[in-house]
Amino acid sequence: MASSTLSILILFSLLVVCSFSNAKRSPPKPKGFIFPIKKNETVNQYYTSIQIGSNNTKLNVVIDISGNFLWFSSDDYFSSASGYLPIPCDSKECNIANGVGCILCEFQPPVPKCITNMCADYALNPYSGTQGYNGLSTDVLHVYSTHGQRYNFKRFPFQYSDTVLRQDLASSTQGVISLGRTRISLQAQLASAFKIREKFALCVPSSGHEGNLIIGNVAYNKPIEEISKSLISTPLIRNPVSTSGNEVIGNLTLAYFINVKSIRVNNKTLSFNNSLLSIDESTGGGGTCLRTVRSYTSLHRSIYRALLNEFVKAAASQGIKRVASVAPFGACFDAKTIASGKIGGPQVPIIDLVMEGKNVFWRFYGSNSMVRVSKNVICLAFEEGSPNLTGPTTSIVVGGYQMENYLLEFDVTSSKLRFSPSLLLSGTSCSQFGAS
Ligand SMILES: *[C@@H]1O[C@H](CO)[C@@H](O)[C@H](O)[C@H]1NC(C)=O
Ligand SMILES: *[C@@H]1O[C@H](CO)[C@@H](O)[C@H](O)[C@H]1NC(C)=O
Ligand SMILES: *[C@@H]1O[C@H](CO)[C@@H](O)[C@H](O)[C@H]1NC(C)=O
Ligand SMILES: *[C@@H]1O[C@H](CO)[C@@H](O)[C@H](O)[C@H]1NC(C)=O
Ligand SMILES: *[C@@H]1O[C@H](CO)[C@@H](O)[C@H](O)[C@H]1NC(C)=O
Ligand SMILES: *[C@@H]1O[C@H](CO)[C@@H](O)[C@H](O)[C@H]1NC(C)=O
C-alpha cells in the first residue's frame, strides 16, 4: 500500500517535472518567422542569413522567389550525426522534394553520415544557369519568430553543393534559398511544420539598410502596418509549362506570374501586340513573372521598344534631355535636366503595370524606374529581354530594382499577390518594415 502510494507519488512528480520541462522547452506556437534582407549593390543581389546545423553555422544565401530548395556550399558547415540526415530515395521526404534520382553519397559535406541511396535533384544557380546534381539531406535550421523567439526546425531539407555552383553569387554568400511554388521551399516547409499560412511578405531594400522577409502571419511595425491595411490585390497565376530547364516539378513552373493587361506611361497605354501579355498555355511563353534574381525588369523586344518611345517622348515634353545610352539600358538622360522630387526619386514620367480590376496597377516613380550610372547620367532601369531561341520566353520579368521599397505579400495558399504603393511615398521604406 505504502509502496504503491509512493510509486504513484513518484510517477506524479515525474509527470509534473516532465510537463514542466516540456513547457519550458517548447515556446508558444509561432505565428510567423522573420529574416533580414540585405542587398549587395555591386551585383544587385538580395540575400538573407540563416543558421543551420548543430554548430549553428551562419550562412548568407541569395533569395530566389522562383527557386526550388535551399542549396549551399561552405567549409564552415559541420553537423553532428543526429542533426544531419540524408534523405533516402524511397522516402516520403524524397517524394515531397520531387527528387529526380538516386545517388551514392560520394560527394559529401563534412558530416558523419553516409547512405548509398540518397534522394537527388538538380540545384540551379539562377545567375550562371549552372546546375549541380547531388543528394538532398536535412538538418536543423534555426529560425526566429516575429516575436524574437528562436525555434529549431529539425529536418529542414537542403542540398550541399559543389563550390563551383557558387560562381556569380555575391562574394559574401554561400548559396541560394528558395521561395518557389514547391513543397520544399522555405515558406512551404515552415508552413507545413508549424501549421501557419503559406504566405510570405517581401520588402527588398534599395541600399545600405536592411529589408525583411516575413513568413506566415505577418506582424508589421506601425508605419507599415497602416499601409498594409490597404494593399492592392491581384491573382498569382501559374504557368502550366516550364520555361526553364530546371523547372520540372510536374509541368508547372515554380515562378509567380501575375496577369498584366497593359502598360502605361503618364497614363498613356502603350501599343504593342497584346497577346504577348498572356501565357501561351501550350508553350508556356508570354506572360509576366516576378524574379528577385534579376536586377532590372526585362521586357520582350516589342514591348521594350514601345516603352522606350513613349517614355522618351514624355520625358522630352518635360524638358528632359536624352544622352547616349549606357548598356544594358536603352534610354539615358542628362541628370542635370531632371528635377529630383521630394518623394519618389527623380521626377520622370510615371510607369504603370496595369492588371485586371478597377484601379489595380503597380506604379513606378523615378526611384524605381531610373538608375544613376554616372554623376551626370540617369537611365531608364528596364532592359530588353533576350529571347530563348530554343524554348518559350516570358514577356515581362519584373526584377528586384522595381520591387525595392514596395511591400509585397505573396499569399501562396490563396494564390494572391498583395502590394503597396511605393513606401517612399509615405516617407518610409523597407528598412522600417520589421515585425512589431
Ligand atoms: C563544431 O562543434 C564542435 C563541438 O562544439 C567542435 O568541436 C568543432 O570544432 C566545431 N566545428 C566547426 C567546423 O566549427
Ligand atoms: C558584392 O559582390 C561582389 C561580387 O562578388 C563583390 O566583389 C563585392 O565585394 C560584394 N560587396 C560586398 C559589400 O560584399
Ligand atoms: C502536364 O501534366 C499533366 C499530368 O501529368 C498532363 O496530362 C499534361 O499533358 C501535361 N501538360 C503538358 C503541356 O505537358
Ligand atoms: C491619369 O488619369 C487619372 C484618371 O484617369 C487622372 O486623375 C490623373 O490626373 C492622370 N494623371 C496624369 C499624370 O495625367
Ligand atoms: C501577336 O502575337 C501572336 C503571338 O506571338 C501572334 O500569333 C499574332 O499573329 C500577333 N498578332 C499580330 C497582329 O501581329
Ligand atoms: C530555353 O528553353 C529550353 C527549352 O525549354 C530550356 O531547356 C532552357 O533552359 C531555356 N533557357 C533559358 C536560359 O531559360
Within-domain flag for 338: yes
DSSP annotation of 95: H
Phi, psi of 16 (to 5 degrees): -60, -45
Within-domain flag for 225: no
What's the pLDDT at 109? 64
201 and 306 share one domain: no
Which residues neighbour 154 within 8 Å (Cβ) at sequence distance 6 or greater? Answer: 138, 140
For residue 48, which of 221, 177, 208, 149 has the smallest C-alpha distance?
177
The C-alpha atoms of residue 392 and residue 72 are separated, in whole angstroms, by: 29
90 and 209 share one domain: yes
Do 84 and 170 form a contact (C-beta atoms < 8 A)?
no
- Provide the CATH number for the domain around residue 93: 2.40.70.10
Do 132 and 123 form a contact (C-beta atoms < 8 A)?
yes
Q: Which of 163, 189, 216 is the last residue of a domain?
A: 216
DSSP annotation of 27: P
Q: Which of 172, 188, 216 is the last residue of a domain?
A: 216
Do 158 and 74 form a contact (C-beta atoms < 8 A)?
no
Q: State the sign of the Cα–Cα–Cα–Cα dihedral 198, 357, 222, 351.
A: positive
Which domain, by its residues, includes 268? 232-424
Residue 11: exposure state from Cβ atoms within 10 A (0-12, 13-18, ≥19): exposed
Q: Which of 158, 191, 216 is the last residue of a domain?
A: 216
Q: Domain count of the chain?
A: 2
Within-domain flag for 18: no
Q: Which residues are 354's β-sheet partners?
A: 262, 361
Within-domain flag for 71: yes
Within-domain flag for 65: yes
184 and 95 share one domain: yes
Residue 262: exposure state from Cβ atoms within 10 A (0-12, 13-18, ≥19): middle
206 and 302 share one domain: no
What's the pLDDT at 219? 78
The C-alpha atoms of residue 217 and residue 197 are separated, in whole angstroms, by: 7
What's the pLDDT at 26? 65
User: For a substitution probing ligand 5, which of 275, 276, 301, 394 has the most ligand atoms within 8 Å of its CB?
Assistant: 275
What's the pLDDT at 339? 95
199 and 345 share one domain: no
- Coil, helix or strand for 14? helix
273 and 406 share one domain: yes
**Strand pairing report for 232-237 and 101-103:** unpaired
Atom number in ligand 2 closest to CA 42: 1
Atom number in ligand 4 closest to CA 267: 1
Within-domain flag for 2: no
User: For a substitution probing ligand 3, which of 251, 280, 283 has the most ligand atoms within 8 Å of its CB?
Assistant: 251
248 and 188 share one domain: no
Do 412 and 190 form a contact (C-beta atoms < 8 A)?
no
The C-alpha atoms of residue 272 and residue 261 are separated, in whole angstroms, by: 11
The C-alpha atoms of residue 52 and residue 72 are separated, in whole angstroms, by: 11
The C-alpha atoms of residue 86 and residue 113 are separated, in whole angstroms, by: 7
360 and 401 share one domain: yes
Where does ligand 3 bind, in terms of residues with CB under 6 Å? 241, 250-251
118 and 201 share one domain: yes
248 and 102 share one domain: no
Within-domain flag for 227: no
The C-alpha atoms of residue 266 and residue 174 are separated, in whole angstroms, by: 42
262 and 203 share one domain: no
What is the pTM for the complete model shown?
0.89
Atom number in ligand 1 closest to CA 78: 13
Distances (CA, A) of 197 to 66, 193, 254, 366, 413: 19, 11, 18, 35, 7
- Read off the C-alpha cell for 199: 504566405
149 and 241 share one domain: no
The C-alpha atoms of residue 175 and residue 216 are separated, in whole angstroms, by: 23
What H or E segment, with its residue span, contains residue 51?
A: strand 45-52
Where does ligand 1 bind, in terms of residues with CB under 6 Å? 55, 78
Within-domain flag for 26: no
Atom number in ligand 2 closest to CA 169: 5
- Ligand 4: centre distance to CA 268 (Å): 9
Please list the pLDDT of the chain residue by residue as tens digits (436 residues).
344 444 444 444 444 333 333 344 567 889 999 999 999 999 999 999 999 998 899 999 999 999 999 999 998 998 887 888 999 999 999 999 999 999 887 666 666 567 789 999 999 999 988 889 999 999 999 999 998 999 999 999 999 999 999 999 999 999 999 999 999 999 999 999 999 999 999 999 998 789 999 999 887 888 888 899 899 999 999 888 766 544 443 445 789 999 999 999 999 999 999 999 999 988 889 999 999 999 999 999 999 999 999 999 999 999 999 999 999 999 999 999 999 877 778 999 999 999 999 999 999 999 999 999 999 999 999 999 988 877 788 999 999 999 999 999 999 999 999 999 999 999 999 987 765 4
